[in-house]
Amino acid sequence: MPDTPQQDSPQQNIAPPDSRLALANRRIVLGVTGGIAAYKSAELIRRLKDLGADVRVVMTPAAQEFITPLTLQALSGNPVHTTLLDTEAEAAMGHIELARWGDLILVAPASADFLARMAHGHGNDLLTTLCLAARCPLAVAPAMNQAMWASRSNQDNIALLQARGIPLFGPAAGEQACGDVGPGRMLEPTELAHLTAGLFPRQLLTGTRITITAGPTREAIDPVRYISNHSSGKMGFALAEAARDAGAQVTLISGPVHLPTPDRVQRIDVVSAQDMYDASLGALKQTDIFIATAAVADFRVENSRNQKIKKQDNSGTIQDGRMTLTLVENPDIVAAVASHSPKPFTVGFAAETQDVENYARQKIARKGLDMIVANDVSRSDIGFNSDQNAVTVIWPDGQQAIDLASKAQIARDLVTLIATHYQQQHKNAR
Ligand code: PMT
C-alpha cells in the first residue's frame, strides 16, 4: 500500500497515520559512551526526534572526547547530563529523576568498557548509575573494534546482558575506522531509531496528530469585565489524556480554565475566540484529527474598551441606568477547520438544551463535520462543569449513545469511536 493518498481520491487531503510518529510521547534517555561512533549519536538524536521522541542525552567522560555536549544539547533541545556528582545538575534534574523520566535507556554507541561495567552492575558514573536505578527497559547498540567484540570477556558480558533480556542492536559487520574488517560497527542511526520504535507496542492512534480545543473563551467588555460561559475544560482535557493514552501526539488549545496540563500533552493557552481561531488554524499543518470541545463564545463585544467603563460613562454605552453593548459574530473555528484544505478528520460538539439530536444533525451539515458529539446541557448532572457526561455521537449515516459515565470514561469511548471512523475514512481514501 502506498502511504500517501492517491491524487484522485475524494479524501486525498487526509494524511495517513504511518511510522513517522511511532515514538510520539516516548521519552528516550540516550547514553553515549566513548568511541568513534559517538559522532553518529548526533544523527541518531535527529532520527529519534523525527519519530516523535523526547530525547535527553547522558554522556560519559570518554564520549565527550569524541563529540561535544553542546552539539547534542542543541540537537536534543534538552540539557546534556555528564556527571553524577554535580550539585547544579542534580538540582535541575537528579539522576534518580532522570532514570524515572525515561521510557527507555538506549546506549549508543555502547563501548566494550561500558558493557563490561553494565554487565557487572557498576555504578561508578552517571550512565551506569542510571542503568541500575532505571525501572524502564534498557537497550544497547555496541560499537568497538572487531577483535574486542570477539574477545571472550566481551562475549561473556554480552551473554550476561542478553540473559537479562536487554535487547542488543547490532553490531553490523564491515570496514572499521581502524582499518579492520569484521563485526563491531554501530548500526546506522535510521535503523537504530526504527529498532527503538519497535520496542514499543503500536497503539490505536500511534502516528496520529490530534488537536483539541477545550474550555470557554472570554470576550472582553473592558479590562475588568468579560462575557463567557460555564465550561470548565474537563471534557476537553479528559479527551486529551485519552488520545495521548491511545498513542496520539496531542495539542490542547485551551481557554481560561483551572486544570493542570496533562503529562506529555502540548498546551496552548488562549483567551478569546479570535485567539482560539488563530491557534487552531496555526496547528492545522500538524493535525490529522481536530476535536472541538470548547464552548466558544458565538459573539464578542464590537468595541471593547481599553479603560474600565465607569457607571457615569458619557460615551453612550451607559444611559438611563442601562448599558448597551453591540455584539458581533465570532469566526466559527470548527467550520473553518472543516473547510480547510487539507482537511483533518473534524469532530464537533453540540451543546443543546432541547431537541438535542436534531440540532446536532443540523450542525454536522452546516459546519461540514465528519462527526458530532451531542451534549444535553439542560441537565445539571452532565455537560458544563460536571465530572460526568452522557452523549450521543452522530455521523452522517449513523449514531451511537454513550451512557452516563465519568468524563474520563466518556473520553476513552469517544477516542475509540473517533479512531475507528478516522481509520475507516483512510482505508476508503486509499
Ligand atoms: O468544559 P466542560 O465543563 O467539561 O463542559 C463540556 C462541554 C459541555 C463544554 C462540551 O461537552 C460541549 O458540549 N462543548 C461544545 C459547546 C458549544 O459551544 O457547543 P455549540 O453547539 O455552541 O458549538 C458547536 C460546535 O462548534 C462546538 O464544537 C464548538 O466548539 C464549535 N464552535 C462554536 C462556535 C464558534 N465560534 N466556533 C466553534 O468552533
Give 188-223 pLDDT, tens digit per residue.
Answer: 999 999 999 999 998 999 989 999 999 999 999 999
Specify the pLDDT at position 302: 94
**Mean pLDDT for the chain overall:** 90
Ligand 1 atom closest to the Cα of residue 349 is 28
- Ligand 1: residue whose CA is nearest its atom 36: 332
Instruction: Please work out whether the CB of residue 233 comes within 6 Å of at least one atom of ligand 1.
Output: yes
Catalytic annotation present for 131: no
Pocket test for ligand 1, best of 227, 275, 334, 367 (most atoms within 8 A of CB): 334
pLDDT at 20: 76
pTM of the shown model: 0.87
pLDDT in the model for residue 83: 84
Mean pLDDT, range 383-395, rounded to an integer: 92
Among 89-103, 107-121, 259-273, 412-426, whose mean pLDDT is lowest?
89-103
Highest mean pLDDT among 106-110, 394-398, 400-404, 424-428: 106-110
Instruction: Quickly list DSSP for 152-180.
Output: HHHHHHHHHHHHTT--B--PEEEE-TTS-
Catalytic residue (choose from 178, 328, 401, 404): 178
DSSP 81: B
Is the pLDDT score of 144 beyond 60?
A: yes
334 lines ligand 1 (CB under 6 A): yes
Interatomic CA distance for residues 211 and 248, integer angstroms: 10
Q: What is the mean pLDDT of residues 213-237?
A: 97
Sorted by where each starts, the structural domains of the chain and their CATH numbers stand as 27-197 (3.40.50.1950), 209-307+314-429 (3.40.50.10300)
The atom of ligand 1 lying closest to the CA of 238 is 4
Mean pLDDT value of segment 16-25: 72
d(C-alpha 218, C-alpha 225), whole Å: 9
Mean pLDDT of 174-193: 88
Alpha carbons 32 and 60: distance in angstroms, whole number: 6
> Where does residue 215 rank: exposed (0-12), middle (13-18), buried (19+ CB within 10 A)?
buried
Query: 65-79, 193-207, 290-304, 369-383: which range is least confident on average?
Result: 369-383
pLDDT per residue over 72-102, tens digit each? 999 999 999 998 766 666 666 677 888 889 9
Q: State whether the beta carbon of 235 lies less than 6 angstroms from ligand 1.
A: yes
pLDDT, residue 178, reads 78
Distance CA 237, CA 359 (A): 25
